[in-house]
Chains A and B, each alone.
Chain A
């Protein structure tokens, strides 16, 4: 029996309506792609945070790095033009832990929310009694170490913090940020495992890291090293004659064999120490900022670990 015309019409209408509803729901459920003008404008006060922001935000964010690659975050001061750019940001991401000493100036220059990403990351405080520090300049004692990014597990936590910040500023992109943060977290876990495998080649009793300044505390704590920093937490914290003498004593007493200059630091102090104590100098490490040749976080960690492991393997 053939359906009546009215029934056929009703069926077609219902099918059409369902199709329209389905199409509309796809538009609603899928994140609406933003135009360039609609991208979340994010200013990162540190290129490592900027790299993280791009990883989590993808196409939905337009990230501007206030500190250029190769700049020194400890001594950077934003210029007037930087502050003008800041005023146009939807969101500002800072590393935190008092790294950006100019943060108050930033607060007065922008109405955007400022997220100190490192605020929720467990801290290391420089403490001469902490076995993590074989030797440290006395004037860094009690200071908060701001170099939290040298531990990939901290970057995994940071990805979630950035995800939350982006979702709050752009709720329409919540699903995108969640997926990208999750993927980034997995990459950090993989990176962490790779680091552990690499450093396992260095016997625990030999894991003593002599560097130009105390930038690798978080790395050392996670991977079983002890730190000897010639300078304090910043390259501004110059060691006194007594500090240098103490460092020489430790190097000799512990029979340390290798030291690591840094790409952005003046190597003279470390070279002087090496001459006096016979330390070998490894390849320079990337401590405070990436460079034009190593411009993403994962490459930075891999480069540093390779330099460290290669140097310790040479005997």
Chain B
């Protein structure tokens, strides 16, 4: 059983703080910077109950929820950085808390490589390692919830990101302004019932735990195979930005491991993101379009395909409009049909509150168990402290990598 990385982190931090050596603390630039972000959502539903919806762990699961109160603590030193993110939430029934991430970063590895160790949102795809506050849509795409788990793919282990030297590809004219990096990671997948609520789940027996999970999350218990225990992940990603008006990101991700029944499980994905800025460095319209295409191959369920695509157009007057569509192939082993969801979005970024966003989102979903449902949710998000929250302010853009 891995040593809880929080223990390592807190011990290290405590040692540093308790060392009593102010000169040493100053020399390592110990800077504990608290930031917070709040996301709340009110939802109305028609055609089904919340429990019938295929939701992620922090998706709106009741008429009013506090999707997250994410608090972040960081410290920086010349050779070591630390990050701790704790999330508090209210799912309409009771409060909960969880440690989202806790990891150390060694930013000065040879070759400009970055080594991280601890509990981390895995660098799989483009949206998996984006925190709630960095997402424009209030719920996670169907395919990511199904293939990566309700909590997303969080691993406790290590990953190494290495930028490829530009000399390796600069001779190709179209790649002259590109940057390419490779990430390799190994860790243990976070347990899928590890979602801290007010009453700890340690005393629950299996039956109660299943009921508890279904009641608390409102999920269909049969979510298909997800990673359990150790897994290897890899990602090759490139960014191409010939000027300040256009930016293209593309990536290929792979995760290899086992599911809860010790069957082989592989998830692979391709992602594309395009960002357009009308006036470059000056304020103007901005378009962000992103798509991910994933394939899951498991002993339990065979092959299954899913994808989503979303586009958001932001205007200088502080509105944004967007549309997201997602599809998830049915799973014959789970007796589910192909499901899809279409989600229009209207966002308002109040000029007087630069770190806040108000979102009106609609969903029409064809449910995997048959039938359809519609939801409309109204969300309010705000960042507090420091730069207004980790990320790019109250609204941020999806795909922001912390």
- Cα A123 to Cα B244 with chains together (Å): 7
What 6 A-B pairs have minimum CB-CB distances, sorted nearest first?
Answer: A122-B243, A119-B279, A123-B244, A119-B282, A123-B280, A123-B281
| CB-CB nearest in chain A for B246 | A122
B interface list, Cβ under 8 A from A: 242-245, 278-282, 284
Interface residues of A in 99-124 (CB under 8 A from B): 116, 119-120, 122-123
Interface residues of A in 66-119 (CB under 8 A from B): 116, 119
CB-CB under 8 A from A122, the residues of chain B are: 242-245, 280
| CB-CB nearest in chain A for B280 | A123
Count: A-B pairs, CB below 8 Å: 19
Report whether B243 and A123 are in contact in the complex, using a CB–CB cutoff of 8 Å. Answer: yes
Any chain B CB within 8 A of the CB of A174? no
Any chain B CB within 8 A of the CB of A144? yes
CB-CB under 8 A from A119, the residues of chain B are: 279-280, 282, 284
| CB-CB nearest in chain A for B245 | A122
Report whether B245 and A144 are in contact in the complex, using a CB–CB cutoff of 8 Å. Answer: no
Chain B binding surface, main DSSP class: loop
| CB-CB nearest in chain B for A96 | B282
- Cα A122 to Cα B278 with chains together (Å): 11
Report whether B243 and A120 are in contact in the complex, using a CB–CB cutoff of 8 Å. Answer: no
B227 CB to closest chain A CB (Å) equals 40
| CB-CB nearest in chain A for B278 | A120
- Cα A144 to Cα B281 with chains together (Å): 9
- Cα A116 to Cα B282 with chains together (Å): 11
- Cα A116 to Cα B278 with chains together (Å): 13
A239 CB to closest chain B CB (Å) equals 25
Identify 6 new A-B residue pairs, CB closer than 8 A, beyond the known A119-B284, A123-B281.
Answer: A120-B278, A120-B279, A122-B242, A122-B244, A122-B280, A123-B280
- Cα A106 to Cα B228 with chains together (Å): 63
Interface string of A131-170 (1 = CB under 8 A from B): 0000000000000100000000000000000000000000
- Cα A120 to Cα B282 with chains together (Å): 10
- Cα A80 to Cα B224 with chains together (Å): 73
A-B residue pairs in contact (CB < 8 Å), sample of 19: A116-B282, A119-B279, A119-B280, A119-B282, A119-B284, A120-B245, A120-B278, A120-B279, A120-B280, A122-B242, A122-B243, A122-B244, A122-B245, A122-B280, A123-B243, A123-B244, A123-B280, A123-B281, A144-B281
B112 CB to closest chain A CB (Å) equals 12
- Cα A123 to Cα B282 with chains together (Å): 11
CB-CB under 8 A from A116, the residues of chain B are: 282
CB-CB under 8 A from B278, the residues of chain A are: 120
B178 CB to closest chain A CB (Å) equals 15
A201 CB to closest chain B CB (Å) equals 24
CB-CB under 8 A from B284, the residues of chain A are: 119
- Cα A116 to Cα B284 with chains together (Å): 13
- Cα A144 to Cα B244 with chains together (Å): 11
A97 CB to closest chain B CB (Å) equals 9
B4 CB to closest chain A CB (Å) equals 41
| CB-CB nearest in chain B for A124 | B243
CB-CB under 8 A from B280, the residues of chain A are: 119-120, 122-123
A186 CB to closest chain B CB (Å) equals 23
| CB-CB nearest in chain B for A119 | B279
- Cα A252 to Cα B402 with chains together (Å): 43
CB-CB under 8 A from A120, the residues of chain B are: 245, 278-280
CB-CB under 8 A from A144, the residues of chain B are: 281
| CB-CB nearest in chain A for B279 | A119
- Cα A116 to Cα B279 with chains together (Å): 10
A33 CB to closest chain B CB (Å) equals 35
A26 CB to closest chain B CB (Å) equals 39
Most buried by A among B243, B245, B282, B284: B282
CB-CB under 8 A from B244, the residues of chain A are: 122-123
- Cα A122 to Cα B244 with chains together (Å): 6
B245 CB to closest chain A CB (Å) equals 7
- Cα A120 to Cα B281 with chains together (Å): 10
CB-CB under 8 A from B282, the residues of chain A are: 116, 119
A263 CB to closest chain B CB (Å) equals 30
A113 CB to closest chain B CB (Å) equals 15
- Cα A239 to Cα B279 with chains together (Å): 31
- Cα A123 to Cα B246 with chains together (Å): 12
- Cα A192 to Cα B226 with chains together (Å): 58
- Cα A123 to Cα B280 with chains together (Å): 8
- Cα A120 to Cα B244 with chains together (Å): 10
| CB-CB nearest in chain B for A122 | B243
- Cα A123 to Cα B242 with chains together (Å): 10
A231 CB to closest chain B CB (Å) equals 23
- Cα A116 to Cα B280 with chains together (Å): 13
- Cα A144 to Cα B243 with chains together (Å): 13
- Cα A120 to Cα B245 with chains together (Å): 8
A153 CB to closest chain B CB (Å) equals 13
CB-CB under 8 A from B281, the residues of chain A are: 123, 144
Interface string of A42-55 (1 = CB under 8 A from B): 00000000000000
CB-CB under 8 A from B279, the residues of chain A are: 119-120
- Cα A106 to Cα B278 with chains together (Å): 23
CB-CB under 8 A from B245, the residues of chain A are: 120, 122
| CB-CB nearest in chain A for B284 | A119
A140 CB to closest chain B CB (Å) equals 16
Interface residues of A in 56-73 (CB under 8 A from B): none
A129 CB to closest chain B CB (Å) equals 12
- Cα A119 to Cα B277 with chains together (Å): 11
- Cα A218 to Cα B110 with chains together (Å): 34
A62 CB to closest chain B CB (Å) equals 28
CB-CB under 8 A from B243, the residues of chain A are: 122-123
- Cα A122 to Cα B281 with chains together (Å): 10
B177 CB to closest chain A CB (Å) equals 10
B93 CB to closest chain A CB (Å) equals 50
- Cα A123 to Cα B279 with chains together (Å): 10
| CB-CB nearest in chain A for B243 | A122
A98 CB to closest chain B CB (Å) equals 9
A17 CB to closest chain B CB (Å) equals 50
Most buried by A among B244, B245, B279, B280: B280
- Cα A302 to Cα B91 with chains together (Å): 70
- Cα A119 to Cα B244 with chains together (Å): 11
A103 CB to closest chain B CB (Å) equals 11
- Cα A117 to Cα B243 with chains together (Å): 16
- Cα A232 to Cα B281 with chains together (Å): 20
- Cα A140 to Cα B281 with chains together (Å): 17
- Cα A269 to Cα B245 with chains together (Å): 37
Interface residues of A in 151-205 (CB under 8 A from B): none
B198 CB to closest chain A CB (Å) equals 49
